[in-house]
Amino acid sequence: MDTAGSVRLSLEEHTLGNGLRIILQEDHSAPLVTAHVMYHVGSKNERKGRTGFAHLFEHLLFQGSENVPREGHFKFIQDAGGTLNGTTWFDRTNYFETLPSNDLDLALWLESDRMGFFKPGITSEKLENQREVVKNERRQSYENRPYGLAFETVLDEAYAEGHPYRHPTIGYMEDIDAARLEDVHDFFDRHYGPNNATLVLVGDFEPSDALERIDRWFGEIPARPVPDRPEVPSPLGRGERRKVMQDRVQVPRVYLMFHSPSFNDPGFEATDVLTFLLSDGNSSRLRNALVYERQVAADVSAFTWPTESVGMCFVVATARPGVGSIELEREIREVLDRLVADGVEGAELEGGLNRARRALVEQLNAFGDRADAIAHAAVLRGDPDYVNSAFDIYAGLEAGDIEGIAREVLQPDRLTSVHVVPEGGDA
Amino acid sequence: MSAVDRSIRPPAGPPRPLVLPDFASPGETGPLDVRFARRHGIPEVSLRLVLEAGAGSEPAAHRGLASLAGRLLTEGTADRDAVAMARWLDRLGIGFDASVGYAVTIISMHALTDVLEEAVEFLGTVVLEPTFPEREVERVRGERLDEIDRQMDDPATVAGHAIIDALYGDGLYGRPTGGVRDTVSGITPESLRVFHERRYRPGRSVLMAAGDVEASRLADAVGGVFERWEGVAERPAPPVTPEAPRPRVILIDRPDSPQAEIRVGTIGVPYGTDDHYQIVLANAVLGGIFNSRINMNLREDKGWTYGARSGFRFRRGAGPFVAQTAVETAVTADAFGEILDEIARMQEELVPDEELELAKHALTLSLPLQFETSAHVTRRVSRQHIYDLPEDYWRGYRDRIEAVTAEEIRAVVRRRLPRERLTLLAVTDADSTESALGRFGEVERRSVEDARG
């Protein structure tokens, strides 16, 4: 697997008769297996008035099905010594468990009952319970947390009314309240067919045996009509967007978001490396200037989200006391402008590529993370082997690629700027 | 192709034996004790240097000294300033972290195997040669003071700091390891240099390493860098356990909060008590796993919260027990009532067999997962060194958990969590919750600013 600090995973691909895509990655280094099912549906598929539904629906898929009792997923997997979870994002929803490899059938039973036999298990009582849990998740993770509503404000500013990326995955409170049982049935029928899903197995199994088991558990689930993919209009052309919001905080924080290449676009990797050069490590451009030299920021981070349809590149910085948000944004943009004007140095790029390579290796280390990376590449790019080819793409990046993407992306007309300021204060 | 029976949980196949990594000396490494486990596969190595330089070894007047020293290791040597150090580390692409607990300082590094020698050289430089330059000390201390202020914006952090203050006061475990405003303000470059001089010593330290490299390559790298390091930093005595707390009710006012951050706490136990495994299992049933009683009750039955959990912090001294959750403000008092009822129920009734088996399996069958990656392995095994756990702590873990009985669980919850020693604390809107909390005792109301201490 090791070729000079990179990783080469051998992937075996199959498709069942019902359209379920299977990717097997055999690895006997630990007596464990991860089963990861990724459905090609997320918050961007939600309709108006039902924001947050894909995520609420994900909660309901832990509430049992025809053959699995309520809370059965947690109970059986913990009883087997495994871990499990599910997550929802703009573009996809995933369900996964890692457990001792002698219990592979348990994972396949639970995941296939979810996919094929969910509807008989759902009740309005379960919906009401999980609606309250999700509302408390929104309160705990967003509303009652400092700066917790900043990202959803960025999205709301950056995208036009009706754009699929305009609302946050957690959803708005009134929409979480509005969800009905018929929405649950409809969403399941529309998005949870085997031909809208990818199953990734990583770990300690024999591929031919595993494939046979998968076919036994999943093969009889009928295919459904493939859902329409939502139209995702280009977000460009709205010009610079700005908003100031107040929160119960003591110092301002600035959120800058630039429309950038998506995970599917050429230029994604260059944007990713650009963010490493900007804020990863104390020698990075923004940390060095804002935290060390000027001492105007307590922290700063730049990152890009690997989204399917439109990309987002963020710079987020928290002010030191006495520094206003306008001053902080000006300092950030001076650093960005300087990078665009002066270009990238050789040693700087070498370090950025080394850090990016380590990050790629790290995300392939634990079976659960590796399965997620493979599924993400398979579902969003249609190319699971990207987990391997990414090493070559990153290694081939040159200073000109980073400079080109910086010139293209770090422009005022691609910028959404949200300043979070203390209550009673202004920017 | 045979049909499957979906009506029951499918039977498990024969289990593969649990293989825990063997840590051994990689060869001659000089004054530093090195323990290494080879891991084949991913081309990376995980290094974990455990130093007797925890918050427990700093003067009480300078709480936060060890933590600040950890943050400043990479901020300059006689030959390189902070920027040069940062450039060096960032060019190699190594992950670096210095984390400071009550017992020890741990420097952890993740490197791809092709830069192992450079990673060890960097480690040697930050451990042996930091100079704590005045300008950087001033900056990092200022950042820490800002951070202390900013943490008061987050109700979960306010609650976490307030519960340990209520239980331990000025004692070591009553303050975060990063210190508080008064103690951090007085830290100087000189106090950092003295602390480093005394506490960063090879005697009593250990370097845990795991990854896909040859043992001899690791030994050569470490031996060369640390060969002239000398001296011992003796372990400080663990903190004295304070008297059992009174049953208090503390309400920290955060007007108009959509939720209440609530905590139920008491003083727990150190590692290594006779009832250690009973405590671990009892807590798993109460609040240690997803299917635990307080999570099932407050989340899956009531829908009041996104999650609820509990835990004992085992340390060299008696760390706290804390049950915690965030609930809708309107049910603040009811949520306390449910948590107290769940603790009382464990003191009255025996845990049914099926529930006990589930908790045992969750703890023991998960061992392969807990030892999955190099980083997991070095983290787990270094705990044995830090807390003087028996050599077979992990190897014997399964049998010791399996041996615990329902009667022992009932007895241990009675002994360790009696109602009269539980402190209740909430951070939320006080006007709308205070009167309902009166049923648990006299309410001590204060502001977030008071709670800052």
Q: What would the DSSP string read from start to end of A245-287?
A: EEES-SS-EEEEEEEE--TTSTTHHHHHHHHHHHHSSTTSHHI
Q: Which helix (H) or strand (E) holds A129?
A: helix A124-138
Q: Are A24 and A12 in contact (CB under 8 A)?
A: yes
Per-residue pLDDT of B45-98, as tens digits, reads 999 999 999 999 999 999 999 999 999 999 999 999 999 999 999 999 999 999
Q: Cβ of A131 and B6 within 8 Å? A: no
Q: How far apart are CA A213 and CA A273, in angstroms?
A: 41
Chain A residue numbers with beta carbons less than 8 Å from the beta carbon of B114 are: 4-5
Cα distance from B393 to chain A (closest Cα, Å)? 18
- Run of H or E residues at A87: strand A83-88
Sign for the pseudo-dihedral over CA of B364, B366, B370, B371: positive
Given a cut of 70, whether residue A4 has pLDDT beyond it is no
Residue type, A270: A
CA distance B19 to B371: 9
The chain A residue lying nearest B74, using CA atoms, is A282
CA A245 – CA A140 distance, rounded (Å): 19
Q: Does B154 touch chain A (CB under 8 A)?
A: yes
pLDDT band of A2, cuts 50, 70, 90: very low
Half-sphere exposure of A9 (CA within 13 A, CB side): 31
Integer CA distances (angstroms), B295 to A39, A49, B262, B349, B380, in order: 28, 31, 14, 19, 26
The neighbour count for residue A219, using CB atoms within 10 Å, is 17
Residue A6: what pLDDT? 77
What pLDDT shows up at residue A5? 65
Residue A54 is which amino acid?
A: A
Sign of CA dihedral A139, A142, A147, A151: negative
Three-state DSSP state, B262:
strand
Q: Is the pLDDT of residue A427 over 80?
A: no
Provide ipTM, 2 decimals.
0.94
Handedness of CA B288, B294, B299, B301 (dihedral sign): positive
Cα–Cα dist B82/B42, whole Å: 32
Q: Give the integer Cα–Cα distance in Å for B296 and B442.
A: 29
Total count of residues recorded for chain B: 453
Q: State the average pLDDT for chain A.
A: 96
The structure's pTM equals: 0.96
Is B127 in a helix, a strand, or coil? Answer: helix
Beta-carbon separation of B368 and A130 below 8 A: no
Burial (0-12, 13-18, 19+ Cβ within 10 Å), A88: buried
Round to whole Å and give the CA distance between B65 and B198.
Answer: 13
DSSP H or E run through B267: strand B259-267
Q: What is the pLDDT of residue B128?
A: 97
What secondary structure does DSSP assign to A152-194, as a single string? HHHHHHHS-TT-TTSS-TT--HHHHHH--HHHHHHHHHHH-SG
Cβ contacts of B14 within 8 Å, gap of 6 or more: A102
Chain A residues close to B21, C-beta within 8 Å? none
Mean pLDDT of A373-378: 98
Average pLDDT over residues A288-301: 96
CA distances from B305 to A94, A412, B186 (A): 22, 42, 41
Among A118-122, A303-307, B5-9, B99-103, whose mean pLDDT is lowest?
A: A118-122
- Of the spans A19-23, A27-31, B445-449, which averages the highest pLDDT? A19-23
User: How does DSSP classify residue B242?
Assistant: P
- pLDDT computed for residue A153 by the predictor: 98
Contacts of A137 in chain B (CB under 8 A): 306
Pairing of strands B249-253, B443-447: parallel
Q: What is the pLDDT, as a whole number, of residue A3?
A: 47
**Partner A contacted by B188 (CB < 8 A):** no
**Site from A106, A113, A288, A354 to mutate, B interface, most B CB atoms within 10 angstroms:** A354
Closest CA to B74 of A292, A295, A212, A148: A292
- The answer to whether residue B19 neighbours chain A at the CB level (below 8 Å) is yes
Contact map slice: B 327-356 vs A, CB within 8 A: 327-328
In angstroms, the CA B47 to CA B34 distance is 10
- Strand residues in B87-178 grouped as ranges (E): 95-100, 105-112
CA separation, residue A336 to residues A43, A400, B217, B225, B447 (Å): 32, 16, 42, 39, 42
Q: Which residue is it, tokens 């460009």?
A: A236
Q: Which residues of B93-127 are buried (b: 16+ CB within 10 A; e: fewer)?
A: bbbbebebbbbbbbbbbbbbbbbbbbbbebbbbbb
> In whole angstroms, how large is the CA radius of gyration of chain A?
23
Q: What is the per-residue pLDDT across A208-226, written as a single tens digit (0 to 9) for each?
A: 999 999 999 999 999 999 8
Q: Which two tokens stand for residue B98?
A: 């210095």
Question: How would you label B28-37 residue by residue, b for 16+ Cβ within 10 Å and e otherwise?
Answer: ebbbbbbbbb
* Separation CA A44–CA A232 (nearest Å): 9
- Half-sphere exposure in the Cβ direction for A220 (13 Å, CA): 13
pLDDT, position B2:
63
Burial label for A234, CB within 10 Å (0-12, 13-18, 19+), is exposed
Low-confidence residues in chain B, pLDDT < 70: 1-2, 452-453
Q: Tell which of A9, A34, A58, A78 to mutate to test the B interface (max B CBs under 10 Å).
A: A78
- The DSSP line for B345-411 is HHHHSPPPHHHHHHHHHHHHTTHHHHT-SHHHHHHHHHHHHHTT--TTTTTTHHHHHHT--HHHHHH
CA dihedral of residues A313, A318, A322, A326 (deg, nearest 10): 20
pLDDT of residue A197: 98
Question: What's the confidence (pLDDT) of residue A14?
Answer: 98
B16 and chain A in contact, CB less than 8 A: yes
Query: Do A193 and A19 form a contact (C-beta atoms < 8 A)?
Result: yes
> Does residue A426 surpass a pLDDT of 80?
no
Chain A to chain B, count of Cβ pairs less than 8 Å apart?
Answer: 244
Q: In what order do the strands lie in the sheet with B206-211?
A: B34-38, B206-211, B44-51, B105-112, B95-100
CA B297-B301-B302 angle, 5° bins = 90
Q: Looking up tokens 């807990």, which residue turns up?
A: B370
Provide the edge-to-edge strand list for the sheet that holds A241-247. A241-247, A415-422, A253-260, A311-319, A297-305
Determine whether the interchain pair B289/A80 forms a contact, defined as Cβ–Cβ distance below 8 Å. no
DSSP B85: H
